[in-house]
Amino acid sequence: MKPDPFSAAELVRPAPLAKEAPLPSRKQIRAWLAPVSAQRTGLAIALLVLDWVIFAALISAIVLVTPWWAKALLGCAAGFVIGRLFIIGHDACHQSYTPNRTLNRWLGRIAFLASLTPYSLWEVGHNVVHHGYTNLKGKDFVWQPFSLEEFRALPKWRQTLERFYRSGWGPGLYYFIEMWWLKMFFPSRKQMPSRRPIFLADSLLSLAAGVVWVGALVWAAQATGQSAWALVGWAFVLPFVFWNFMIGFVVYAHHTHTAVIWHEDKTAWAAADPFVSTTVHLQFPMGIGSLVHNIMEHTAHHVDMSVPLYSLKKAQSILEEALPGRIVIQNFSWSWYFDTARRCKLYDIAAQQWTDFEGRPTGQTTHGRVA
């Protein structure tokens, strides 16, 4: 009988490190997480199959039910499951989902179909750029804040768009435009100068998934005597919109906090231990974090991308016990979220502080903690 890796982790938990002590190397910190990093093929495939079955059942239910409010609720639920499938694809793209690299690539593409995400383009933008240079301005494009001077130099329409993105209501539109539409769905040469054949192939695969999805709904509408426009709206547009707002919110909350800083100088950025200090562990009540495959345990994911989603909770616990006072932990509330959106508009690199759109420092939120 194989030993329980979680039990083994309990035996090798590192002693808490004093806040003033130098941070160990990333290699050493990752060694702390090695006992919970084992990848399990059977569990991985079962999770993917489960989520696809749930998603297919929800889309089928939208076709079959009559009340508009039931279609709306089911459409939102389907959008949520798209998020779960995306997180599985995200794990597979990091090669952390199963021990087999080829299997990960196929499972990742299958998981990404529901969100119409081109696998190889996500891999470059997320794995190489975002994880390689998290919160290094000029490299990491994910929710990169403007300085006051940069913001004032923008055309008025782009200033207005930025104001909406950072209003607390705009993360979904931000993800749809700035990340999916511009950088992943048949990106231009400006957005993706490299023109690898696999980029086009994965974009075509995502397009084909969308065409099949819409085509099946049009056929179902004709077969059941419904409006094709209405059914496509409930069972395709609504889930896709919900998914965009879900992922936009998640990415924003992972990397936007008054305690999270940005750098412009690569040497200073590297010295600031960015793999620990640039992400937020967002905590939800009632086990909601588990419903999104533990992606909110985000510090552990950035420290070691090889930790599979089904082990992230344990890995995060190890880090927070070993590195007290260094990890941003946030109990979620809407008051915190909108307070953060109010405070985090622009960023003053020299002062290492967030400001409003007039360049006035907004200070630390009173809703968070660094543990």
pLDDT per residue as tens digits for the range 134-187:
889 988 888 999 999 999 999 999 999 999 999 999 999 999 999 999 999 999
Mean pLDDT score of the chain: 89
Amino acid at 52: W
The pLDDT of residue 22 is above 50: yes
Note the pLDDT of residue 6. Answer: 46
Q: Mean of the pLDDT values across residues 69-90?
A: 97
CA distances to 25, 297, 332 from 288, in Å: 32, 12, 11
Q: Can you give the pLDDT at residue 2?
A: 43
Which pLDDT does position 365 carry in this prediction?
A: 59
Q: Answer whether residue 77 shows pLDDT above 90.
A: yes
- Indicate the helix (H) or strand (E) that contains 200: helix 197-224
Structure tokens at 186: 């048949």
Per-residue pLDDT at 280: 85
pLDDT tens for 283-293 read 888 888 889 89
What pLDDT does 97 receive?
94
Predicted local distance difference test score (pLDDT) of residue 159: 97
Residue range 88-95: mean pLDDT, rounded? 94
pLDDT of 21 reads: 79
The pLDDT score that the predictor gives to residue 135 is 87
What residues form DSSP beta bridges with 280? 328
- Beta-carbon count within 10 A of 12 CB: 11
* Residue type at position 79: G
Q: Which residue has the higher pLDDT, 210 or 315?
A: 210
Q: Across residues 228-247, what is the average pLDDT?
A: 97
Whole-number Å distance between alpha carbons of 85 and 236: 16
User: Sorting pLDDT into bands at 50, 70 and 90, what band is 5?
Assistant: very low
Please check the confidence at residue 8 and state whether its pLDDT lies above 50.
no
Cβ 262 vs Cβ 135: under 8 Å: yes
pLDDT at position 369 over 70 = no
With cut-offs at 50, 70 and 90, classify the pLDDT of residue 220: very high
pLDDT at 237: 98
Q: Indicate the range of 208-212, 218-222, 228-232, 284-288 predicted with least confidence.
A: 284-288
pLDDT at residue 133 above 90? no
Band the pLDDT of 12: cuts 50, 70, 90.
Answer: low
Region 324-328: mean pLDDT is 82
Predicted local confidence at residue 179, as pLDDT: 93
CB 156 within 8 A of CB 144: no
Q: Of 170-184, 314-328, 336-350, 354-368, which range is least confident?
A: 354-368
Q: Tell me, what's the pLDDT at 7?
A: 47
Neighbours of 86 (CB within 10 A): 24
Residues paired with residue 331 on neighbouring β-strands, in sequence order? 283
Q: Which of 93-97, 135-139, 198-202, 218-222 has the lowest mean pLDDT?
A: 135-139
pLDDT score, position 191: 84
How high is the pLDDT of residue 36? 87
Note the residue count of the chain. 371
Q: Tell me which amino acid residue 14 is.
A: P
Report the percent of the chain where pLDDT is more than 90.
Answer: 58
